[in-house]
Amino acid sequence: MLINCVVYENGTRLADIPVSEISEYVSLPGCFVWVALHDATPEELTEVQAEFGLHPLAVEDAHNGHQRPKVEEYDDSLFVVMHLLEAGADGPATLRVGELDVFVGRNYVVSVRNRSEHGFTEVRERCEREPELLRNGPGFVLYALMDAVVDRYFPIIDAFEDELETIEQRIFTKGAARDSIKRLYELKQRLTVLKHAVAPLLEGTGKLHGGRVPQVCAGSQQEYYRDVVDHLSRINNTIDSIRDTIGTAIHVNLSMVTIEDGEVTKRLAAWAAIFAVCTAFAGIWGMNFEHMPELKWRYGYVAALALIASFCGYLYYRFRRAGWV
């Protein structure tokens, strides 16, 4: 679906045009066209490809979707893929993964948003509020889109940190260890989704501000891309830190489970020892041999019960002091 198709001249919005008229403006000096699509159909991609001469491999990737984040250079144009992460119906407990494909050339920008409800209207408004920067052309628009995508990762990483702190506070709560392990594994899975979005993009964005920089990103714009790399590096380092903490927390939880199981085993062993005394005495006096003097003693029954109770009481006292019961 076409969101908008706008022509900019020297950093100022010139006009909204239909896709069929793009070719009339892209050849004008100082002009570039910014086309925004949402869940584009093959027909829409084909029409845009014909207007701008997009590389067929890049168009195929945009059509198929589910691409790894990357920055690819085709002659004098760029194809950039970024993952869009949004909280699901259960909040940060679930993540929906969308995708933003951006085609950038000397006089055009085509952004294709897939499987995402949150658009980039604020990015267009920001660019139009800064005509002196928008005058740099499509390279600045690409930076603004990348900056907006990366900024959306920060609330997610903050929510992960808050959730991890909550789980850590429950680690030593009796009976909560198993539930904590489950939550830690679920958090680790969501963190991996974020890692898959950040790490490849960090690698690709590094090409835009150092070494042989693509022409559309050359000049003073490199410092803006360096800012994006700094943000991505910060998020990536935080992800690694959280993963290490999760690994430590899982080991602690497993230790707590082992300790809890050991406590149960000790209690069972203590009670088994106490009842073993009863069983031993009952077994001896229950053999019914003919010549057992205790069997004819008037107070034998009471004495046996007292003896059994004394031994059991003593064992209970010792186990109690040892903390086994």
What's the pLDDT tens digit per position in 277-312? 888 877 877 776 666 766 677 777 788 888 888 888
* Domain final residue, candidates 116, 134, 152: 134
Q: Are 104 and 78 in contact (CB under 8 A)?
A: yes
What's the pLDDT tens digit per position in 210-225? 767 777 777 656 788 8
Strand order in the sheet with 108-114: 12-16, 2-9, 31-38, 108-114, 91-105, 77-88, 70-74
- C-alpha 214: how far from its chain's center? 31
For residues 205 and 210, give the distance between their C-alpha atoms in angstroms, rounded to a whole number: 9
- Residue 313: pLDDT band with limits 50, 70, 90: confident
* Residue that is written with structure tokens 């948003």 in the block: 113
Q: In angstroms, what CA-CA distances link 75 with 54, 105, 320?
A: 10, 10, 80
Six token digits for residue 28: 């004008």
Indicate whether 78 belongs to any domain.
yes
For residues 2 and 164, give the distance between their C-alpha atoms in angstroms, rounded to a whole number: 41
Q: Are 151 and 106 in contact (CB under 8 A)?
A: no
| CATH number of the domain where residue 315 is located | 1.20.58
Q: Which domain does 84 fall in, by range?
A: 1-134
Indicate whether 189 belongs to any domain.
no
Compute how many other C-beta atoms are within 10 angstroms of the C-beta atom of residue 129.
9
Indicate whether 2 belongs to any domain.
yes
What's the pLDDT tens digit per position in 169-226? 887 777 666 788 888 889 999 999 999 999 999 998 888 877 677 777 776 567 888 8
Indicate whether 106 belongs to any domain.
yes
Number of structural domains found in the chain: 2
Q: What is the DSSP letter of 27?
A: T
* Domain final residue, candidates 86, 118, 134: 134
* Domain final residue, candidates 81, 100, 134: 134
Indicate whether 267 belongs to any domain.
yes
Compute how many other C-beta atoms are within 10 angstroms of the C-beta atom of residue 48.
24
